[in-house]
């Protein structure tokens, strides 16, 4: 399997992902998507939106603010309960997620434990911990650190704080009633949203897997409580299928039910991907009962209910949630597509075998020569293809090198303009995976590509 190091190097070298603020020595927990990364990330988001909203008559979209009334985070329990246990090495000053240190030696701690209970478990296993450059005796007693990121937006000059949202779904819950009333929806129905979330992760690590600023794609499905199990099972299957359809190898995907549930949850399953650093959560599917709407009803004093005409009663719907991070999906897709291949002539190539629908660039247009009318003709072909596809033009270096560069960023097709093009108006299409080439007349090029894609 590919190493995380190889993925990070490729991502940086080819303009997929850059570490944040590098000219100022970097800023931990944040990454910037470069020219190719933004294309790939947009394709992933569009694909999600297509599956979860555009093709679903029962699901609508939303884009709520990143900052909201601070009471929302009290109602949701985030101001008190959204915390991870942290321990500090007193010699080096390094901070660690204490529950992750336990996990590394096979001890899982209950998320609901009080800090006293957690400290007891931690003390029992402390001596067995294995940490690079730190002696377990030097670790401090764990403390809970809240993950909410605070801001002073709109509170300047007062003692109050606001928060950057820790998850996008709260914006959906607080808009539930307005969406319901304006769109005349009937149970069951869903509201979906894609957007940034922020968490003060103690130890951001593993590249895009755990960052402090990230994007989530979340869908909340409102249903009668008695139907929730059926919808939970359906959405779990739908999400697994959607991930496979992005081209992710199904052997590297698995569904793992949570061993312990938070008190309000009825069911929770992690869809895990086998990253280079092990099986980890890629997406969560949760049956949240009617906890969220009940909490916001209590804290806001507004009735977040649904009037069921058949039953002639007001009910608080239950919620099935699907939640996936764009960065974690991006990383899974890159790891899955990465391949190093030795060719028949003994040379090596790196190729990203990305599904054509998500590849950042679909076509490379390459003139054979930088003279004799090739660039002029190639630019015309580029302009025609760019109306429909994500295309780039590349005239620098030997043709073989240009093909390798296209392979390395996962470009499914290269269209080459050569001497014959000028005579008979045909071009060569070179296929990324098979490296086979075929000759196609320019007037039929778009139709031909459409049939192939």
The residues of the shown chain that bind ligand ATP, judged by CB under 6 A, are: 167, 199, 201, 210-211, 214, 216, 281-284, 323-325, 327-328
Long-range contacts (CB closer than 8 Å, 24 or more residues apart) made by 421-425: 421/374, 421/377, 422/372, 422/373, 422/374, 422/377
Nearer to ligand ATP, 112 or 439 (CB): 112
Minimal CB distance residue for ligand ATP: 325
β-strand pairing of 83-88 with 95-97: antiparallel
Tell me which residue of 333, 396, 349, 279 sits closest to 11, measured CA to CA.
Answer: 333
Q: Give SS3 for 11.
A: helix
Query: Residue 327 Cβ, how far from ligand ATP at the closest point, in Å?
Result: 5
| Minimum CB–partner distance for residue 29 and ligand ATP (Å) | 8
Nearer to ligand ATP, 324 or 358 (CB): 324
Least distance (Å) between residue 319 CB and ligand ATP: 14
Q: Smaller CB distance to ligand ATP: residue 207 or 392?
A: 207
- Of 378, 420, 386, nearest to 402 by C-alpha is 378
SS (H, E, C) 137-186: HHECCCEEEECCEEECCCCCCCCCCEEECCCCHHHHHHCHHHHHHHHCCC
Q: Which is nearer to ligand ATP, 228 or 416 (CB)?
A: 228
Give the integer Cα–Cα distance in Å for 159 and 137: 39
- HSE value, Cβ hemisphere, 13 Å, CA-based, for 161: 10
How near is the Cβ of 164 to ligand ATP at its closest, in Å? 13
Q: Which is nearer to ligand ATP, 136 or 276 (CB)?
A: 276
Please name which of 150, 179, 142, 155 lies closest in space to residue 62, comparing C-alpha atoms.
Answer: 179
Closest CA to 215 of 198, 200, 195: 195
CB 438 within 8 A of CB 428: yes
CB 15 within 8 A of CB 33: no
User: In degrees to the nearest 10, what's the CA dihedral of 52, 54, 58, 64?
Assistant: 70
Q: How far is the CB of 274 from ligand ATP (least distance, A)?
A: 15
- Smallest gap from residue 84 Cβ to ligand ATP (A): 8
Ramachandran category for residue 26: left, alpha or beta (phi over 0 → left; psi -120 to 50 → alpha): left
Task: Output the smallest distance, CB 2 to ligand ATP, in A.
Answer: 20
Contact 145, 95 (CB under 8 A): no
Q: How far is the CB of 375 from ligand ATP (least distance, A)?
A: 43
Q: Closer to ligand ATP at the Cβ: 61 or 284?
A: 284
- Which is nearest to 320 in space by CA: 410, 401, 393, 227? 227
φ and ψ of 227, to 5 deg? -100, 0
Q: Is 243 or 414 the residue whose CB approaches ligand ATP more closely? A: 243
CB 381 within 8 A of CB 334: no
The nearest distance, CB 199 to ligand ATP, in angstroms, is 5
Minimum CB–partner distance for residue 323 and ligand ATP (Å): 4
Angle at 197 between CA 356 and CA 333, to 5 degrees: 25
């Amino acid at each position: 399997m590919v190493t995380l190091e190889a993925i990070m190097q490729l991502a940086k070298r080819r303009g997929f992902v850059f570490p944040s603020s590098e000219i100022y020595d970097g800023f931990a927990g944040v990454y910037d998507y470069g020219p190719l990364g933004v294309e790939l990330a947009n394709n992933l988001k569009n694909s999600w939106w297509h599956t979860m909203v555009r093709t679903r008559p029962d699901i609508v979209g939303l884009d709520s603010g990143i900052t909201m009334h601070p009471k929302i985070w009290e109602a949701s329990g985030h101001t008190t309960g959204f915390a991870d246990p942290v321990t500090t090495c007193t010699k080096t000053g390094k901070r660690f997620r204490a529950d992750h240190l336990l996990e590394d030696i096979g001890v899982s701690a209950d998320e609901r434990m009080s800090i006293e209970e957690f400290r007891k478990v931690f003390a029992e296993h402390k001596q067995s911990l294995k940490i690079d450059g730190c002696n377990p005796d030097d670790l401090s007693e764990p403390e809970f650190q809240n993950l909410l990121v605070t801001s002073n937006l709109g509170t300047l000059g007062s003692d109050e704080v606001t928060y950057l949202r820790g998850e996008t779904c709260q914006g959906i819950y607080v808009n539930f009633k307005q969406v319901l009333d304006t769109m005349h929806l009937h149970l069951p129905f869903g509201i979906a949203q894609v957007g940034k979330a922020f968490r003060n992760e103690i130890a951001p690590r593993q590249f895009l897997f755990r960052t402090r600023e990230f994007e989530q794609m979340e869908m909340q499905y409102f249903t009668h409580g008695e139907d929730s199990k059926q919808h939970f099972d359906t959405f779990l299957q739908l999400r697994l299928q959607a991930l496979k359809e992005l081209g992710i190898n199904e052997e590297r995907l698995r569904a793992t039910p949570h061993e312990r549930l938070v008190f309000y949850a009825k069911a929770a399953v992690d869809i895990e991907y086998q990253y280079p650093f092990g099986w980890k959560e890629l997406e969560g599917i949760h049956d949240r009962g009617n906890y969220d709407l009940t909490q916001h009803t209590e804290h806001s004093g507004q009735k977040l209910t649904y009037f069921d005409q058949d039953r002639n009663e007001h009910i608080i719907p239950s919620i099935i949630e699907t939640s996936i991070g764009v960065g974690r999906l991006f990383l899974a897709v890159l790891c899955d597509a990465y391949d190093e291949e030795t060719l028949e002539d003994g040379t090596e190539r790196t190729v990203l075998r990305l599904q054509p629908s998500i590849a950042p660039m679909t076509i490379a247009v390459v003139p054979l020569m930088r003279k004799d009318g090739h660039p002029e003709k190639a630019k015309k072909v580029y302009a025609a293809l760019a109306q429909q596809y994500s295309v780039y033009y590349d005239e620098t270096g030997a043709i073989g090198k240009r093909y390798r560069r296209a392979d390395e960023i996962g470009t499914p097709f290269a269209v080459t303009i050569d001497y014959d093009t000028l005579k008979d108006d045909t071009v060569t299409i070179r296929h990324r995976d098979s490296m086979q080439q075929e000759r196609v007349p320019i007037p039929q090029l778009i139709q031909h590509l459409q049939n192939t894609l």
